Structure 1
Amino acid sequence: MFSNLEQTFRWYGPSDPVTLTAVRQTGATGVVNALHHIPSGEVWSKEEIEKRKNIIQSAGLTWSVVESVNIHESIKTASPDREKYAEKYIETIKNLSEAGIKTVCYNFMPVLDWTRTDIDFRLPNGASALRFHAAALAAFDLYILEREGAYKDFTPDQQQKAKTYLDSLTAEQRAQLITNIMAGLPGTKDVLTVDQFKEHLEKYKGIDADKLKQNLAWFLQAIIPDAEKLGIRMCIHPDDPPFPILGLPRVVSTESDLLDVVSASPSVSNGLTFCTGSLGARGDNDLPAMIGRLGKYIHFLHLRNVQRENDGSFYEADHLGGSTDMYAVMKAVLQEQKNRADSGRTDVAIPMRPDHGHKLLDDFNYNTFPGYSAIGRLKGLAELRGLEMGIKNALYQ
C-alpha cells in the first residue's frame, strides 16, 4: 500500500490566533507557512528561516511547504530591475533548501493575490463563508474604481445589475466592499487604497495575457535551473478567481495555462499547486481529468470546494459539497499516488491542506485571516481524511 497524503495546515506565524497547538490537534503533521514580515522581493535569511522552523518543530510539527515566496512586481511587469529580484529569489530558495524545506508555492497574479467581495457571507446554517459576487465586483470596477475601459468588459445587463447593487448599499457596506476587494495580499492585513490600486494598474498598461505569460516564462527560466540543483520543488498556484478582473490579465487559470507553465522550463522542479477551489470556479475545468493528465507535475494540493452561480459568482462551499465532485478528485489523486509508487518515485506522500473553511461555532470569537478559521478547516480536514481512507481501502487493499 502506498503512503497517505501528507496532511498539512496553513499557519500565519506567531500572531495567528490559530495556534500551533491547535494545528497539531487537527491531526495535521505538516505546517504551511511563510515569512510574511519580510517584504516581497527581499531575501529570507538563514537566521529567519531557522528561527521559524524551530518554532514549528518545537510544537511537534514539520514545516512542510512554504506558501508563498511572493514574486516582486518588477518581475511580473518586466521592469529593468527584474534580474536583481530574480537573484534575490534564488538566494531565498537556496537558504530554504539548506534548512531542508524543499516545497515552495508561489503565484503570478498581478497586484492582488486573491479577490473576494464578501468575507462574511452567511450560509443557511449560520456559518460564514467567502464569496465572489460578480455584480459587486462590477460595481466596484465601474462606479468606484472608475477604471478606464471598464465598460467594454461588461454587458449592458451586467452594468445595470452592478448599478442596482451599488445603489442598494449603505455607506458602511460600500466601504466594506472596497476593503474586501483591496485586501487580497496573503499573510498581511494591509489594504490598498483605491488610489494606490490605480497606481499599480498604471504599471500594467500594455501588459496583456501574452506579455504576462512571457514574463512568467522568463522568471521560470531564470530560477528553475537553480531550483533543480537545490532539490527545490516550485509549484505555482492557480489564479483566484481564474479569469481576468479589474483590467488585469490572468494566465494560470486553465489546463492550457498549466501546460504552458510546465513547458516553459521543463524540470522536475517546475510543478503545480493544484487548487480545486481556484480551478473549480471555472465550469470548463474538468478537475479529475486535469489531475489524470497533469498529475506528475503536482507537488502540493489545496482541496476545497466552491459553489458556482450562473453569473460567474461563487462562494466557498463545504469541502465535500459544492460544484466539484471531490470524490472523483480524490480518486484521481490516489491514482496519481499509485502511479508514483509503481514507478519508484519518492514523492508519493503529496502534501495537501484543507484550503479555506467556514467560520463555525467558536471560530466567531477569533479574528482569523479570511478563510482560515480553526474549526472550519478542522471539519474540512476530517472530511478529506475520511474520503481518502474510504477510497483507498476500497480500491487498493
Structure 2
Amino acid sequence: MYIQDQVHYDNLDDDILSFYRAISVDSIHLELRGGRPPAKSVKRSSTGVANTALAQRMRAGEDCTEAFEKARELVESHGMRLNNIFMPCWEEIALAMEDRDEKIGFWCQMLESLGRAGIPCLGWNFKPMGNFRTPSDTGRGGVRYSTFDYAYFSENQPEQYDPPVSEETMWANMEAFLQVVIPVAEKAGVRMALHPDDPPIPEPLGGIAQICSSLDQFRRTLFEIAPGEHNGMLFCQGCMTELLGEGVYDAIAEMASNNKIVWVHFRNVKGQLPRFVEVFMDEGDIDMKRAMEVYRDNGFNGPYMMDHTPGFAHSAYTRLHGKAYAIGYIRALIDDVYG
C-alpha cells in the first residue's frame, strides 16, 4: 500500500525529492511530457507531446539506460523507488505514419533500457490529440477546477486533424503496435500501463477517433488484443467516473481482480459526461474510502497517485500545496482501509 507522485524530468533534483519524501511519498512517476499551446478557447493538453531532451533521445532511437539508472539512483538516495516513466505513444505509431515501424523499434529499445535500469513500469496513452478542456470553473477559496463541458466544446471546436482518422484505423494501429511491443515488454520485465482518453468520449475529438475511452474498449485492448500481464491499465479513477458515474466501483473490481491495474490515478470529480469538473479529494462524487476498499478487496495494493489538483488562485500557493493535501488524504485512507 504505497503512494506515488510525479516529478517532471527537468525538475528532478534533491529539493523536490526531499519534499516528496517528507510528505510520505513512496515512489516516483518520472514525467517526460512537455507543453503544447491551446487551440482557441478549448484547451488541448500536452499529453500527446514528449519534448524533454531525454524523450527526444528515445524517440531518435538512442539507448538511454544510463540516464534512467542515474534517475533511479537519485530517487533511491531519498528513500523512494522510481516506479515508472510516462511516454505518450508517438504520433508516427498511433497514426501509422511512414516511419511507424522504425519508431516501434525505438519503443522496444526504450522498454529494454527501462528493464536494464531496473524501472518496472511504463505509463503511456494512445491519443495523438492529447486531452481537451473548456474554461475552468471556480471552486472553494477561488481555486480553478479543470473542467470539461461538452456543449461548450461542441460550439468551440479546436483545430481538427486532417484527414480525419476513423475508429477502424485506430484499432488497426493499436493492434499492430501491441503485437510487437508487448512481447518485448514481457522479456524486459516492464509492465505497460495505458491511460484512458480524457475526456473519455468514444468518438472522434479533434478529428481522430478515441479508442481508449469506454470499458468495452479497454476490454478489447487488455483482454483480446494482448491479454498478457505486461499489458495493463493506468486506472484513472477520475476518467472512469466521468464516463461511468456510480459504475466506477464495478470497473475497479473488474480490472483489479484481473490484475490489470498497474497503478491508480486516485482523484475525485463532480459530475459526469457531458459535463464534469476535477475537484479536491473530499468534495467530489466518488466515495474515496469505498473506492479504496474495492481496490483492496480485489487484490490491488498500490501505488495510489493523486494525479491532478485544482489550481490555486494566489501566486504564493502552488500545486505542491494541493499535492501535500491530497497525499495526506490518501495516507489517512490507506491507514484506515489497509490497516
TM-score category of the 2 structures, normalised to the smaller one: 0.7 to 0.9
Structure 1 position 138, deviation (Å) = 2.6
Instruction: Determine the C-alpha separation between the residues in 2 that align with 1:232 and 1:49.
Output: 13
In the alignment, which of 90, 101, 126 is matched to residue 83 of structure 1?
Answer: 101
Percent same amino acid among aligned pairs? 23
- TM norm structure 1: 0.72
Q: Which residue is equivalent to 1:232?
A: 190
Structure 1 position 284, deviation (Å) = 5.5
Structure 1 position 105, deviation (Å) = 0.7
Unaligned runs of 5+ in 1: 146-196, 338-347
Q: Say if 2:271 is the partner of 1:308.
A: yes
- Asked if the contact 2:6/2:31 (under 8 Å) is kept, the reply is no
Letter in 2 for 1:33: L
Instruction: Determine the C-alpha separation between the residues in 1 that align with 2:17 and 2:137.
Output: 27
- Asked if the contact 1:358/1:377 (under 8 Å) is kept, the reply is no
Q: Which residue is equivalent to 2:225?
A: 264
Instruction: Determine the C-alpha separation between the residues in 2 that align with 1:208 and 1:136.
Output: 24
Instruction: Determine the C-alpha separation between the residues in 2 that align with 1:294 and 1:326.
Output: 17
Instruction: Determine the C-alpha separation between the residues in 1 that align with 2:312 and 2:90.
Output: 35
Letter in 2 for 1:257: Q
Q: Say if 2:274 is the partner of 1:255.
A: no
In the alignment, which of 128, 133, 143 is matched to residue 144 of structure 2?
Answer: 128
- Over 3 Å counting, the alpha-carbon distance change for 1:111 and 1:328 in structure 2 is same
- Asked if the contact 2:111/2:185 (under 8 Å) is kept, the reply is yes
Structure 1 position 75, deviation (Å) = 1.1
Q: Which residue is equivalent to 1:152?
A: none
- Asked if the contact 1:308/1:315 (under 8 Å) is kept, the reply is yes
Instruction: Determine the C-alpha separation between the residues in 1 that align with 2:282 and 2:186.
Output: 36
Letter in 2 for 1:279: M
Q: Which has the larger radius of gyration?
A: 1
Q: Which residue is equivalent to 1:117?
A: 134
Instruction: Determine the C-alpha separation between the residues in 1 that align with 2:289 and 2:113.
Output: 38
Letter in 2 for 1:272: M
Unaligned runs of 5+ in 2: 33-51
Higher strand share: 2
Instruction: Determine the C-alpha separation between the residues in 1 that align with 2:27 and 2:332.
Output: 18
- TM norm structure 2: 0.84
Instruction: Determine the C-alpha separation between the residues in 2 that align with 1:364 and 1:29.
Output: 28
Structure 1 position 55, deviation (Å) = 2.9
RMSD: 2.4
- Asked if the contact 2:295/2:301 (under 8 Å) is kept, the reply is no
User: Secondary structure of 1:105's match?
Assistant: strand
- Asked if the contact 2:170/2:209 (under 8 Å) is kept, the reply is yes
Structure 1 position 87, deviation (Å) = 0.6
1:1-397 to 2 correspondence within 5 Å? 5-15=1-11, 19-35=16-32, 36-37=52-53, 38-39=55-56, 41-43=59-61, 45-66=64-85, 68-112=86-130, 114-118=131-135, 121-141=137-157, 145=158, 198=160, 201-202=161-162, 204-205=163-164, 207-243=165-201, 244=203, 245-262=205-222, 263-283=224-244, 286-295=247-256, 296-308=259-271, 312-337=274-299, 349-360=301-312, 364-365=315-316, 373-393=319-339
- Over 3 Å counting, the alpha-carbon distance change for 1:333 and 1:47 in structure 2 is same
Q: Deviations over 1:158-188 (max 9, x none)?
A: xxxxxxxxxxxxxxxxxxxxxxxxxxxxxxx
Q: Deviations over 1:312-339 (max 9, x none)?
A: 12111122332223232211100122xx
Instruction: Determine the C-alpha separation between the residues in 2 that align with 1:302 and 1:78.
Output: 29
